[in-house]
Amino acid sequence: MASTTTTTSQFILDHLGGPENIRQMSHCATRLRFQLDDVSKVDDKALDSDPKVLGTVPQGDHGYQVVMGGSVANYYQELLRLPGMEHFGDSTGGGPKRDASGKKQYEGVRGRYDWVDYAFEFLSDTFRPILWALLGASLIITLLVLADTFGLQDFRADMADQPDTYVFMHAMWRSVFYFLPIMVGATAARKLGANEWVGAAIAAAFLTPEFLALGEAGDTVQVFGLPMVLNGYAGQVFPPLIAAIGLFWVEKLLKWIIPEAVQMVFVPFFSLLIMIPATGFLLGPFGIGIGNGISDLLYAVNDFSPFILAIIVPMLYPFLVPLGLHWPLNAIMIQNINTLGYDFIQGPMGAWNFACFGVVTGVLIISLREHNKQMRQVSMGGMLAGLLGGISEPSLYGVLLRFKKTYLRLLPGCFAGGVVMGIFDVKASAFVFTSLLTIPAMDPMPGYAIGLAVAFFTSFFLVVFFDYRGVEEKKQVLADLAEAREAEALEADGTADDTADDAAEADAAPAAATAAAPAAATATDSDAATEEREFSLTAPLEGTAVALSEIPDPMFAGERLGKGIAIIPSGDTVFAPADGKVLTVQKSGHAVGLALDNGVQLLVHIGIDTVEMAGKGFEVLVEKKQRVTRGTPLIKFDRATIEEAGFNPITPVLITNTRKFESVTGLPTQAATVNTKVIDLVRKAPVAAE
């Protein structure tokens, strides 16, 4: 039997238009990322209806993201195993694809996408593979900062003055940040379709002992008879990004000039021969200049008023992160740590993160109160990923971008937390992800902790007291929960009654066994003959029969509660379409469930969201467990009253035990009476005895 992960992965692939519609596939901490040939083939409604999918985000003309939360890697790996997706898992899966003629199709910089969309997608997909290493290194930094806090070692002391154990621990996190240009060079080149290892080698050249021996940053040396200004490239991100773009164009030119038979040798040779000097003389200093320019601008604002910057940063982040525009700021944070020894962005940024986590924690409290299993799972995952890992995407895509009122609850927390950060002038002593575990990396630590608490609880209490949904959104959610509970109750009642019937038959069996034995074969043959495999149900009320997809409710339209038909009523009475008994009937009169003698469990739900009418306009004519025959009146209702109350009277007629049948087919027709067949059913074929 296929696992839930496999089933969900296949569901996602099918509703993205299949393997043939996918150009590229990757994933980040929470999102599956796709480049599609035709975004119009995506079924957004179906994807959003799956409880495993936290949200969907179209990006530009061809980009599409499916938010899966912390288990995204499992879904990514499962997608790679599906037919037609295997090639995305090879070493070139992130690079260019080939068309039917075998010609390479390069993405992005050729203008296939809107350049702004692609620029930020380029940044996001460059940093995405490095995210795990950055997160791991940030927690190692936190351990060392804690050791500094408790007087075990001086975090910023010269390595020559530190014990060997702490020197080694510093090497653990420096391995990520010092060699970050190599990682960025590789991932950026791969994103563009250039050779990732050549991209890494270009950046690595400027971290070698030989290059470092040329002199200090700012010195000028003669290389090839030309003056080269030296720079410190450790921890830099903009130089390798720009070098990767240059490599893309150089590789493309070389592949056009050099015969294919010898490209493997001469393309990387000339690429290194051209790009390393070009980076040293031009692209590297230009990249450092860009980083310094952005940093200087932010530093000027901070120098003018740290208080103002501390408010601006958390108020901007809720709008930057959904668009992927926060990655340049992350690069600046790393650069600030390397050049200034501290960073003034991360502290205020924590106010946005913890306001976000406050919102989802409030949603968790409300979902527990409402017994909303789906939102409980989403909010729980977002809260834990945020508070312990500093990852905001599960909260953002699982909650914040799905409901109207969330930003009205989020922004006050961002503002209040930013004010506190500004008062204490919080700075980061190391690049870390803002979580409960990394509080010691901020200075002053108590001021930062207070700022986080203010941001968190401001948004938390706003959600708990004023909800996170608009009136209509809340009404829809509560109606969906009510429908789900009705379906569960119907299923439970049917199961309980079936169990009771089975028990009664078991008790009677011993007494009747002897008398029944001679006729056993005849009885079995008779049952098989009288129980037709194919049969139909007639309409339980008069009106116009239409497909379930026409119901303006995703639970019914998506056949989440079972297959069947919908009837736009013209009459005022629901009748039993066949003999059976009443499994459940709502006190409000808006729904009735039947266990028919032919094995069908039937739900007739009069109108959409009519549970909120509290019985007004409905008259219940039967009671639970009552035997009924075909044509027995079950419920009378007043359509005019339903419509005056603002509800749609369209009535779903559902087979709630659909899975027990081989097929259930609704028969839409122009008009239906109680004698009109509206649903065809086929029983599952009996398993042949061996």
Residues classed as catalytic: 28, 605
Give the separation between CA 316 and CA 201, rounded to whole angstroms.
Answer: 36
* Nearest-angstrom CA–CA distance, 145 and 427: 14
- CB under 8 Å, gap of 24 or more: what pairs does 365-371 form? 365/463, 365/464, 366/463, 366/464, 366/467, 366/468, 370/477, 370/478, 370/481, 371/481
Tell me which DSSP letter residue 65 carries: E
Query: Residue 573's beta-bridge partner residues?
Result: 636
DSSP string, 386-411: HHHH---HHHIIIIITTSTTHHHHHH
Distance, CA of 558 to CA of 565 (rounded, Å)? 12
- Before 444, cis peptide (omega within 30)? yes
Strand 55-59, strand 591-596: pairing: unpaired
Tell me 97's DSSP state: E
Could you say which DSSP state residue 133 is in?
Answer: H
Instruction: Tell me the pairing of strands 22-27 and 31-36.
Output: antiparallel
Tell me how far CA of residue 73 lies from CA of 306, 340, 411, 484, in angstroms. 39, 36, 31, 30
Kind of pairing between the strands at 31-36 and 63-67: antiparallel
**CA distances to 295, 563, 657 from 532, in Å:** 78, 20, 18
Among candidate residues 634, 684, 629, 635, the one with its CA nearest the CA of residue 660: 684
Measured CA to CA, the distance from residue 284 to residue 169 in angstroms comes to 30
Distance from C-alpha of 498 to C-alpha of 489, rounded to nearest angstrom? 14
CA distance 287 to 221: 19
Task: Say which residue the tokens 């000027």 belong to.
Answer: 300
User: Which residue is listed with tokens 């530093």?
Assistant: 299
Could you tell me whether strands 669-672 and 97-98 are parallel, antiparallel, or unpaired per DSSP bridges? unpaired
Say if residues 583 and 467 touch (Cβ distance below 8 Å).
no
Max CA pair span of the chain: 112
Tokens of 542: 């008069």
Residue 652: name the closest of 559, 536, 588 by CA.
559
Residue 639, CB half-sphere, CA atoms under 13 Å: how many?
14
SS3 content of the chain, % helix, strand, coil (to 5): 60, 15, 25
Instruction: Indicate the burial class of 636 (C-beta count within 10 angstroms; 0-12, 13-18, 19 or more).
Output: middle
